Amino acid sequence: AQKITQTQPGMFVQEKEAVTLDCTYDTSDPSYGLFWYKQPSSGEMIFLIYQGSYDQQNATEGRYSLNFQKARKSANLVISASQLGDSAMYFCAMREGTWGGAGSARQLTFGSGTQLTVLP
């Protein structure tokens, strides 16, 4: 089974509007972290936002917020007031286990991505 599922291969949004990018995950580990990365056409991967499984509140970073619904195992990214520069591929990722704990380094597993296009 896929650990991270992004069901929207492509999304369009009008400039200045809000957009939600979907992400569902699958894990039996009670401790995990969820991440969103942005990959513009230049190719680099840019970290946007993080949500820990024990965090009580949804994470926010500027115009980015993460709608974390633990029971539904979803971690949707909300971008408010879209800008043309937001056009990019967006990846949801998960780390299972505790990052700082003993054991392995805890790699990130990525979804297939959503291509977001912001229209002027």
Partner 1 sequence: DARVTQTPRDKVTEMGQEVTMRCQPILGHNTVFWYRQTMMQGLELLAYFRNRAPLDDSGMPKDRFSAEMPDATLATLKIQPSEPRDSAVYFCASGLRGNNTGELFFGEGSRLTVL
List CB contacts of 79: < 8 A, sequence separation 6 or more.
13, 18, 19, 20, 21, 63, 64, 86, 116
Q: Is residue 58 within the footprint of partner 1 (CB under 8 A)? A: no
Q: Is residue 38 within the footprint of partner 1 (CB under 8 A)? A: no
Q: Is residue 57 within the footprint of partner 1 (CB under 8 A)? A: no
List CB contacts of 120: < 8 A, sequence separation 6 or more.
15, 84
Taking CB under 8 A as the binding criterion, the range among 13-21, 64-72, 76-84, 99-107 that sits at the site for partner 1 is: 99-107
Smallest gap from Cβ 50 to partner 1, in A, equals 5
Q: Is residue 99 within the footprint of partner 1 (CB under 8 A)? A: yes
Residue 51 DSSP SS3: strand
- Please give the structure tokens belonging to residue 56: 């009580």
User: Smaller CB distance to partner 1: residue 68 or 91?
Assistant: 91
Q: State how far the Cα of 77 lies from the Cα of 69, in Å rounded to an integer.
A: 12
Q: Is residue 12 within the footprint of partner 1 (CB under 8 A)? A: no
Binds partner 1 (CB under 8 A): choice among 57, 85, 100, 120: 100
